[in-house]
Structure 1
Amino acid sequence: MLYKEADRFFKVVYSVERFIVSGGEVMMRSDLHEWVTYLSQYADRIGRLELNSNGTIMPSEKLLSSLSAYPGPLRLLVDNYGHEISRNAEAITGIFRSLGKADVELRDYYTENAHFGGWVDYGVYDIEKLHRKNREDTIKSWTTCSSHRSRYFMTMLDGKIYHCARQIWLVNNGIIPAVSDEVVDFFDDSQTDDDIRAKISFLYKRIAFTTCEFCNGLHEDAPRFTPAEQLTYEEQKNYWRVCNEHGEQV
C-alpha cells in the first residue's frame, strides 16, 4: 500500500517541500530501507526527505545503505527521552552523522531544556473532557496555531490526506465525521486528478476545520508538559518477548 500511495500522491502532486516518514519508531519497519529506496525515484520532487526516530532501535545496515544512496536532501531526527527509554539515541545520532550527507538533529525531550519546551495538551485525546468551542474562539485558535501558520498540517494515512493528526484521532473515534471537504481521498475513483488538486488547494485556503472546534492548538504560549511516560527498555523487551511467545504481530 505504501508504494501505491507514493505513486498516486506524486501523480497528483508535483512536489513537496518536506516528505516526513514518522511514527512512533519508524525503524520498527523492517522494510524501511525499501521505502527509502522507492522514494528515490521522486527525490527531485521532494525538497527534503525526513525520518524520525525515538532513539530506541538501531538502524540496519540495509537502511544505512539506502540512506547513503538516496539522491536528495535528507534530515534525520532522533528524539531523546532519556537513557532508560532512548538508550540508543546518541549512538544512532553518531551513525547518522557518519553518513556525511544528512542534516542530523538530536532533540532533547527529557530535561528542562526540552525541545520546544516539551509537549502540549491538544485537548482532544481525553474524550470525556472534550469541549467544543464557538466559531469566534475556533477561528482565533486556528489563526495562532503553529500547524496552520507553518502550513505543516498535511498528514497522509491509508491513501487519505488529513490537515493534521488530531483530525485522524477524532475521525477514527467517531467524534467528528470525515467531512468530504476536509479529507482528500487519493483513491476516490469518482474524483479526477484535477478534482483532487483542487481539494488540496482548498485545504490550504480554508479558515479553520471541524477539528479546530475541539483542539487547543499548538500555540507559542501554550503550557508545556513533560512528554508522556514511555515503556522502559526492560518493559519493551518483555513486551516483545510475550508477543514472540504468542506469535503475535504488532
Structure 2
Amino acid sequence: MTTAKILEFFLTTRCTLNCKMCLCAIPYQPVKRDTPKEELFRHFALAFPLYDEIGRVELIGGEPMLHPDLPEIVLELLKYRDKFKKIRITTNGTIVPSPALIDAVHQAQAAGLEFDFLVDDYGPLSHKLSEIRDVLAREHIDCRVDCYTGDDQRGNGWLCYGDFTLREHETEQQLWEKFSHCLCPKLQFHDTHDGVIYSCVYAMTGVLLGKFSLRDGEFVDLKDSSKSDAEKKRILETFLKHPTEACRYCDSFREDSPRFPAAEQLPRGEGSAC
C-alpha cells in the first residue's frame, strides 16, 4: 500500500520574504519562477494514481499565494479528492487570499474536503496576518497560526538541516545512526517539484541547487516513461526506509537539533548557503 501523511506540491520559487535559513533555500534558487498550472495539472494526473492514501495535500513555496493560478490549482485538486481528506496552503502572512481563492476553497469544502491555511507569524514581516485572520474567520475557513517571533517561537525557532556539503568522514554506522534519529521517516512528507517526487524537502532542495544527485530508487520522476506505475509505486513504498544520498549531506532533523531565530532577512539579491 502506497501512502504519505503529507504530499506537498512546490508551486513557486518566488517569495515575498528573503529568509537566510529558508528550508527550501528560496534566496539561493538560481531561477525564480511559478510552475505553470498546465504542468502542475499533468503532474497531478501522474502522481495521484500512484498513491492509495494521502493524509493531506499541501501547497507550498516560496510563497504559494504569489502563484497567479492558485484558485484554479485548488479546483483541479478536487478531481482527486478520493485520495485525500484535506488541503492546506502554507503562507507567510504577507498576502490576503483573493476572492477567487476564497471561492475555490468554498468549493473544496462543499465537495467534502477539510481545508485550512497555515500562516507562519514572523511578527512585523507578516504584516497582513491580522487581515488574513479576519477574512478567513468571516468566510468560515480554518486558519492555524504558528508563532515564530519573540520568546514563544514554535519549536524554539528554525533549524538548519545542513550546508549541503558531503560529510565525507562519516562512516556507514554513523550514517545509519543519524538516520535512525531523523524525524523525516516518521513525518512522511513527500515533496513534489517539476514532476519529481522526493522523500524529503532537503533532498528536493539539494537537487534543485545542484548540490548533489540522488540515486535511482531515491526519487520518482513522474515523467519517466521507462518505469511503470507499479515500479514507481514500489519506490514510493521504500521512501525513507533507509538513508539516501541526501542524508550524506544532512545533519538530520531531530527533536534536539539546534534551533535558530526564524526569518532572519537577507538583503534583496543576496544569497549564500545557510
Give the TM-score, by structure 1 length: 0.84
Q: Distance in 2 between matches of 1:173 and 1:31?
A: 25
After TM superposition, the structure 1 stretch with the greater mean CA deviation from structure 2, 39-48 or 172-181, is: 172-181
Structure 1: how far apart are the matches of 2:122 and 2:63? Answer: 13
Q: Quick check: which has more Rg, 1 or 2? A: 1
Q: Which has the higher contact order (CA 8 A, sep 6+)?
A: 2
Instruction: Please give the secondary structure, in 2, of the residue aligned with 1:79.
Output: strand
Q: Which has the higher helix share?
A: 1
Deviation of the 1:230 alpha carbon: 3.0
User: What's 1:117 paired with?
Assistant: 156
State the Cα distance separating 1:13 from its structure 2 match.
2.0
Q: CA deviation at 1:231?
A: 6.7
Instruction: Indicate the SS of the match to 1:74.
Output: strand
Q: Is the 8 A contact 1:54 1:81 kept in 2?
A: yes
Are 1:26 and 1:32, in contact at CA under 8 Å, matched by a contact in 2?
yes
Runs of 4+ aligned structure 1 residues displaced above 6 Å come to none
Counterpart secondary structure, 1:17: strand
Identity of matched residues, %: 26
Question: C-alpha offsets along residues 7-46 of structure 1, whole Å, 9 cap, x if unaligned?
Answer: 1112222331111101121110111000001111222321
- 1:192 equivalenced with 2:200 (yes/no): no
Q: 2:120 aligns with which of 79, 91, 111?
A: 79
Further displaced range: 135-144 or 188-197: 135-144
Distance in 2 (CA, whole Å) between partners of 1:50 and 1:231 is 28
Matched, 1:2 2:59: no
Partner residue of 2:26? none
Normalized against structure 2, the TM-score is what? 0.77
In 2, distance between residues paired with 1:89 and 1:7? Answer: 34
- Is 1:208 matched up with 2:243? yes
Is it true that 1:99 corresponds to 2:165 in the alignment? Answer: no
Unaligned stretches of 5+ residues in structure 2: 1-38, 270-274
1:171-182 superposed matches below 5 A: 171-182=207-218
Preserved contact between residue 122 and residue 263 of structure 2 (Cα < 8 Å): no
Q: Say if 2:104 is the partner of 1:69.
A: no
Q: Return the alpha-carbon distance in structure 2 between the equivalents of residues 202 and 116 of structure 1.
A: 29
Query: Are 1:124 and 1:170, in contact at CA under 8 Å, matched by a contact in 2?
Result: no
SS in structure 1 opposite 2:150? coil
Aligned residues: 227
